[in-house]
Structure 1
């Protein structure tokens, strides 16, 4: 008899511990979340899409995540096409919200970027435009997420934000697709040089691409040899642009020197050979960019030339040279 009582007591004790689980999936009846509650985030690694958005300091063009590129995952998790999902956001059948990863739940915060987006502070928390360092906005027309950072962002910004689409079944958001987006503002490709251009008419100082290979690799994802091969073709994807004092690229001037290159006046503005005030040239040579001088310039003359090599198809890929010159 005592043995039976002991077994019963042990069984009750075990059941008592089981009932204390705080995992929503362990509950006999799942909690139904009301409109003012933040539903928990059901763990599902296969529903998470990781995306890294790297912006270059001084040229922070927005980046776009086209949802059609993830149509298969959306179909698998939501049983919807991308068009159906966007239509669901319009009708209320699908919700588009932030996800608070620290608390493991959805965040129903009101939009702070347009009508379908949010700003985030340096900790990845929802913020407004005055304190935000990055933002995500849903473009329903383009069926895309648009990612951006402020134009004046300094290198070193690093923040992660999570947003998701979920079916609103009136109980939970268990059927969802999530975007885990990492933002970073970097400055790996700014090369500052102090050079002395040798004496002699049309003499030049040659900056070797091999000497800045790490910057080329970081900015273009290629070796200096591969980069050199591309810049030998003036009609290719990589262009040279001069940069003014305000940091604006001169993308409208045609090349005025040999190959990919320009003749410049004393302030670094594009001009042509023989024009009054022509003083320098920058030319792409085989394996180098040459910084040269016009005839008749006085020894000791100092100047500053600012240029970029940039991809025509993706302007976020560029390498920048700030060159302080002295004539021998």
Structure 2
């Protein structure tokens, strides 16, 4: 008699948008007006630096699911370098969540049976949902499309050898630490290889964080080491790139990571980002200031392609949770496309901080 295996569907369609429709006339408007006024008042070099810098600020009001937000160039796809490593974190948590569900539903008798069931339940769906560009480049090589299940996941067992849980392997957890905390590219490559270009971008697309038709959203199809051939999409700031996002789509994901509203629930690796000192603004001594501080932060930095003079500038970005101490509330802030010659200085970051501060100050609570 054939063993009955419960079906666990990885691909169930996009989340409802957790941000208000663009141009909403109520809570969004006060922040957007403040941001527009700030940008309109710029002079000198700040005009050039900030006009091209993309920004999304989301107000995390308690009890409100559809968030107020403001933005500048929020929907433009930009090369964003190491900021997009957050997509690997999201993918790993999603994989673990569904693996846990499969174990509960199917009660596999052994670790080998569990991993066989994972492949049997997930592989065909991943292949059918992987973006066409990735399949065209890597479809013949399953290692680039399908998760390395045993690299990412482990299954503790009881005395009979039956799996009793599913969690990250110590190696994958360690690589995640190196990627998120130490900003190292070798662990990042290991994390990306673990969840694979195919699964990571298939799930991002199905969940609504990437629109394959318009090639807009969060895209990670490069491993930061050049070990796997990158798959590129068009960006506004650097031509064809393998690590890109819009500020607004990263804000959608970062908000769900923070409030635990992803289907995987709270993202424990996200807590590695706690500690505001890792924010560019804290690191350069700009914050805490004016009652604002960063509680969680993932910075990004990476080289643009050489310009016409052969100069290689750096793309600087960040996704962070900003805590307004005086009002006791939080904001998601995502900014990108700050161009600087090397690692950003306080002088170069100061205008970005003022833009964020002005936008948050403009927010007027619902009640």
Asked if these proteins are the same fold (TM beyond 0.5), I'd say: no
Looking at both structures, which has the greater relative contact order when contacts are Cα pairs under 8 Å and sequence separation is at least 6?
Answer: 2
Choose 1 or 2 for highest CA Rg. Answer: 1
TM-score by length of 1: 0.29
Which is strand-richer, 1 or 2? Answer: 1
TM-score by length of 2: 0.27
